[in-house]
Amino acid sequence: MLFLSYLLLFIGLFFWIWGTFPLLIKRDSLLYKLHTLTVADTVGSGLILIALIIRDSSHWPILLISIITLTLWNTVFGYLLGNLVDN
């Protein structure tokens, strides 16, 4: 189980870096950059929190609530940013 936890943790960190990388490239549009950043950040953070649940299952309720609120907040925040940029 410890190996699975580390694997999910590193995959989550990879998604964080992968989502941040398009911000450095000048050729992509701002909407593409925002979409990549919000999706990769949400998935990466969710995987990291799942890895924490696997490592310490005694705190699963607060980590599960964190996953749910993170998913909802990042979705709404990405939508709002996209609408603000589009106008």
pLDDT (tens, 9 = 90+) of the chain, 87 residues, equals 889 999 999 999 999 999 888 888 878 787 788 888 888 999 999 999 999 999 988 999 999 999 999 888 888 887 787 778 766
Residue 66 burial by Cβ neighbours in a 10 Å radius (0-12, 13-18, 19+): middle
Sequential DSSP letters for the chain: -HHHHHHHHHHHHHHHHHHHGGGG-SSS-HHHHHHHHHHHHHHHHHHHHHHHHHH-GGGHHHHHHHHHHHHHHHHHHHHHHHHHHH-
**Residue with tokens 């190996």, as numbered in its chain:** 3
What's the pTM value of the predicted model, to 2 decimals? 0.84
What are 15's two structure tokens? 């998604």
